Amino acid sequence: MMGELATASRVHVMVSYWWSRGDGLANHQLGQILTRAAGVDEVNITDPQSIDRALRIAVADPTVLAELDQWWQMVETRRDGNNTRNPGLGLEQSIRYLTDRLDAGTITPEGLGECRRQVAAVDQTITSATDLPELVHPDAQMLDLLARYLEARSRVLALA
C-alpha cells in the first residue's frame, strides 16, 4: 500500500513537471489520457488546477497510473532530458514588455537596462531550447512569435 502511494505521488509530480514544460504535442496526449481517466468531457490542458484535479483522480487507477508513468518518461526522452520550458509560452509577454517600453516615447537609461536584461533572458531561454521540438519543428505561431521578438530585440539593441 505504501509503495503504491509513493509511486502515485511520484508519477503525479513528474507528470505535472513535464506538463509545465509546455510541449504541445505531448500535452495534447496527456489531455487525452486524463480526459479518458477522469470521466469528464474534457480536461483543460492549459489550466494547472484542472490538470491537478484530473491527475488526482487518474493516479488512483493502476492502469492509468502505468500509462501516466510511461507518458512522463516519453516526454523526458522526447526532450532529451532538457527541462527548458517551451520558449513560446512567455514570448508574447516579453514582446509586449519590450514594445510597450520602446513605444512609450523617451526611454531612460534604467528602462533601457531593463529591456536589455529582458532580451538577455529571452535569448538564454531560446538558446537553451534550440534542440527542443518547439524550435526544431516550429509551427506558424512560433515562427510569428520569433519574428516579432527579433524585431523588438533589434529595436532594443539599436539603442546602444
Examine the domain organization and report whether 102 and 34 are in the same domain. Answer: no
Phi, psi dihedrals of residue 129, rounded to the nearest 5°:
-105, 5
Q: What is the DSSP string of 100-130?
A: HHHHTSS--HHHHHHHHHHHHHHHHHHHHTT
Looking at the fold, whether 50 and 14 belong to one and the same domain comes out as yes
Domain for residue 83, yes or no? no
Sequence-ordered strand ranges (E) for the chain: none
- Digit-by-digit pLDDT tens for the chain (160 residues) are 556 678 899 999 999 999 999 999 999 999 999 988 866 667 888 999 989 999 999 999 999 999 999 999 999 999 998 999 999 999 999 999 999 999 988 889 999 999 999 999 999 999 999 999 999 999 999 999 999 999 999 999 999 6
What range does the domain containing 143 cover? 88-158
* CB atoms inside a 10 Å sphere around CB 21: 20
